[in-house]
């Protein structure tokens, strides 16, 4: 732990966030897009824990606890929405879901 500074953890979190955002922008499979969103969320929690640890404060860690709780609820609802979408439209490819465009 001696040589790993806050910057290293933030760097890892930032790169993970960038990867997740890239996936959200590029991928067309809604499920994979959703997983990339979750990756972005996890990257932000990593930054939060790093700040919490390096500031010697507990509050950031407790916040991450709440973030994990909310993320679990959010995933359940989001996946139910995706299943409902698939039932109605028969696809979860985002480029096929242009009902409101034309």
Give the tokens for residue 94: 């985002």
Comparison of 77 and 99: residue with beta carbon closer to other proteins: 77
CB of 33 to other proteins, least distance (A): 10
Comparison of 87 and 100: residue with beta carbon closer to other proteins: 87
CB of 83 to other proteins, least distance (A): 6
Q: Report the C-alpha dihedral over residues 42, 45, 49, 54, rounded to 10 degrees.
A: 110
| Angle between helical axes of 59-89 and 30-54 (0-180°, round to 10) | 180
CB of 102 to other proteins, least distance (A): 19
């Amino acid at each position: 732990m001696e040589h790993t500074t806050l910057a290293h953890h933030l760097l890892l979190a930032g790169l993970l966030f960038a990867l997740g955002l890239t996936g959200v922008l590029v991928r067309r499979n809604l499920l994979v897009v959703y997983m990339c969103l979750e990756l972005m969320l996890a990257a932000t929690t990593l930054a939060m824990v790093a700040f919490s640890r390096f500031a010697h404060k507990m509050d950031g860690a407790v916040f991450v606890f709440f973030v994990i709780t909310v993320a679990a609820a959010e995933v359940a609802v989001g996946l139910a929405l995706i299943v409902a979408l698939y039932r109605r439209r028969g696809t979860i490819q985002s480029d096929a879901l242009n009902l409101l465009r034309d």
